Structure 1
């Protein structure tokens, strides 16, 4: 082996790295500005010199940071640095924008260098004609793997899995496996375990690489392997896949088709992205903000958000109708109008707290049919405790400020009732939506807000009238 082959890539000096990245490993604004100045001046070599030391993930961040109008010029200036790894790290919206400017054969070159799941992520959102053109430009093996992946449902294990894995027959011994791994051509290069299969290619066990390295050559794989393993059906939703990885602390897992044959594997690095995406997605859906990506086109963000604002407008009319029923009472006693926003605000916050807990529990499979009623009872008890605390504070305060103990008692009772209802609605609405096969994160907030506002106003104004304070 030559000396040049033994050399390791030079690492940048600490001061050079600090010149590009801040203490949180984010690109510094002055570094981004220098890169763009070189690009705008037509100094492509200077721009490449600045960007070249960056990690692919940092190059992807650079494209996400700059304005949309500057991305194409930046891509042209550092085209030779835009390899497959950079595209795999890139935000979906930014990547799609850059991909649209490439020729099919260029996209095919990028896809051919990626794992199947990353290649599918690039190709799946393309127009049908462009997709066919890219597939035609791929090598036959890559094309077959990607075409098969595209037949699976979106966000399923089939889209997520990698085809490159190591599978060996159960009658082999450790020595044969080691020789196979050393001499086999075209084998997977990144893996943590070896799958053991029967003659029908059904997975019957798994062996960690560390076990193989520490075991004598003559030991049979059938004696070494762990027979119990977590198998992932090819059509399983990616969120459920992530939950299994989390529950069983998996590093990788075999993916099987409907016949139980081994067709791929999923690794923990893919699942980390899924966990992050699903967690962020639920938070955004709770707020009705759509995908909530700052790189998403304004038109798409508008469509995603405005429909829930319109829905919220409709539900707000219910609360307004209840207020209108007590218009005379409010005119007679202005203090009611002053205190009404407090009832709505506290009830809404209490409902949001419970709803967030319930949606998370449903997403994590912690809230199931077997413990629904216990969970509802727990949240109601918690709501009553919170309600009693807030009721004492607001009742005492309102009675003191308005010099009216009866008014303090009314708002205290209304607050207790509203927070209790908020606790019930916060868990019942997500559970009901989940039972109806709807995503509980999508519409829960609209319905919970309507319930807490309407019931809060009804309880407060109704008690005020019933007690003779007004009306």
Structure 2
């Protein structure tokens, strides 16, 4: 291919912008090469790209040419690229690859990445891929698939280094150099007893700086954080964060070393869980731009329907004060202000509570203290906003009593919003439900209903109408 065939250079530094994103011109050049079926040009363009950038490229091209791009990439579409792909895009590509091709890719991946790819396949396709795998790889993946989804057993790698406690440092070094079947990517060695229970860890730097005749158990660090295979991945991430871990041993129900989890896997979990909670709060489902339209529709419409139901509650309350609103139309002008500010206050508190629950900052031991704190904060916020809206309403409409009514209603609604924002997530968590899923629906219903009821009810009770 000549220079005139493509407007971009194959060097990665010229095809990425200042934020390390693929430049539109580069993506367009790849699309053009795919459309004219020039596989050689495609491979030349991506030759110097990092695997993560190749994955980004696959995600950014239109869906109708992804399969052709995958075919043009040839051996550049390897396990490292597949592991970096968005889940929806990866599943889409797996549908057009045969079981043998998927098995070949899985054989080059770490166990955890291979499991993440295979677990999303249909049962029949999954079995076909497993049948095509090497027996050792198949056994490892089948074992991982037997553990619950989003558990440490699904997340862990089997590729690790474990040595018996009676070995010396020299024994370990000789074995590492001699055995060509060992994994090549590791920085920590696990020391096990005769039952294969982990009893300590030893960093490579310690081994390299220790005389050969010293026993490995005299070098190792005995204190370690062990992860049960059935622990939820979110809890795994919290342990890594709390104890500053780089890697951790995973043990089965009998205490035997089953695998390990490394911090790079945990970073993916942290990002995934944080994004998931934010999207659940909004009712947007997975919120993935690569998600099929039908799946996005089903995920979002059910919460919109639920919101419709809760909105009817607020509408019913308003209908009870129809005569009052007809008598004083100003009430209709001011009602949205009370409901809107209450809703915002509730959303603020709810977001803080859901995050605190997710990070184990909000527990049974400090829930009462947290509730008292939110009450105090709601009173401060409510008082500040009430003074502003009360004075403003009294001046604009020339009606101090109306200003007092809306100020009182504002304090009441923001106070209730603060309580709802923390109590709703706490209640859902106590019921073993994800507090991020339905909190927003209930909090919105409460703040809207209480806001309208407080404002209109006080207006009637004070004799304004």
Q: CA deviation at 1:44?
A: 1.6
- Output the TM-score relative to the length of structure 2: 0.97
Instruction: Give the corresponding residue for 2:203.
Output: 208
Q: CA deviation at 1:76?
A: 2.0
CA RMSD of aligned residues (A): 1.2
Q: CA deviation at 1:81?
A: 1.7
Instruction: Give the corresponding residue for 2:99.
Output: 104
**Distance across 1 between alignment mates of 2:60 and 2:375:** 46
Residue deviations 1:387-410 (CA, integer Å, cap 9, x gap): 111001111111111110000010
**Distance across 2 between alignment mates of 1:371 and 1:441:** 20
Q: Is residue 343 from structure 1 mapped to residue 338 from structure 2 by the alignment?
A: yes
Q: CA deviation at 1:71?
A: 0.8
Instruction: Give the corresponding residue for 1:446.
Output: 441
Residue deviations 1:127-180 (CA, integer Å, cap 9, x gap): 111111111110000000001000000000000000011111111121111111
**Distance across 2 between alignment mates of 1:126 and 1:93:** 11
SS of alignment partner, residue 96 of structure 2: coil
**Distance across 1 between alignment mates of 2:239 and 2:117:** 26
**Distance across 1 between alignment mates of 2:295 and 2:134:** 35
Q: Is residue 464 from structure 1 mapped to residue 459 from structure 2 by the alignment?
A: yes
Answer whether contact 2:89 2:290 (CA < 8 A) is retained: yes
Q: Is residue 271 from structure 1 mapped to residue 270 from structure 2 by the alignment?
A: no
Task: Return the match for 2:278 from 269, 275, 283.
Answer: 283
**Distance across 1 between alignment mates of 2:329 and 2:187:** 70
The equivalences for 1:344-423 within 5 A come to 344-423=339-418
Instruction: Give the corresponding residue for 1:330.
Output: 325
Answer whether contact 1:255 1:265 (CA < 8 A) is retained: yes
SS of alignment partner, residue 60 of structure 1: helix
Q: CA deviation at 1:188?
A: 1.9
**Distance across 1 between alignment mates of 2:376 and 2:429:** 23
Q: CA deviation at 1:19?
A: 2.9
Answer whether contact 1:192 1:252 (CA < 8 A) is retained: no
Answer whether contact 2:285 2:296 (CA < 8 A) is retained: yes
- Output the TM-score relative to the length of structure 1: 0.96
Q: CA deviation at 1:313?
A: 0.6
Answer whether contact 1:192 1:251 (CA < 8 A) is retained: no
Q: Runs of 4+ in structure 1 displaced over 4 angstroms? A: none
Instruction: Give the corresponding residue for 1:235.
Output: 230
Answer whether contact 1:202 1:262 (CA < 8 A) is retained: yes
Distance 1:82 1:15, change over 3 A: closer
Instruction: Give the corresponding residue for 1:220.
Output: 215
The equivalences for 1:25-174 within 5 A come to 25-174=20-169
Instruction: Give the corresponding residue for 2:245.
Output: 250
Q: CA deviation at 1:319?
A: 0.7
**Distance across 1 between alignment mates of 2:267 and 2:350:** 25
SS of alignment partner, residue 296 of structure 1: coil
Residue deviations 1:238-290 (CA, integer Å, cap 9, x gap): 00000000000000000000001100000000000000000000000000000
**Distance across 2 between alignment mates of 1:415 and 1:49:** 64
**Distance across 1 between alignment mates of 2:71 and 2:204:** 43
Unmatched segments (≥5 aa) in structure 2 = 1-7
Q: CA deviation at 1:192?
A: 2.1
Unmatched segments (≥5 aa) in structure 1 = 1-12
**Distance across 2 between alignment mates of 1:394 and 1:103:** 66
Instruction: Give the corresponding residue for 2:5.
Output: none
Instruction: Give the corresponding residue for 1:425.
Output: 420
Residue deviations 1:287-344 (CA, integer Å, cap 9, x gap): 0000000000000000000111111111111111111111111111111100010011
SS of alignment partner, residue 382 of structure 2: helix
Equivalent pairs counted in the alignment come to 458
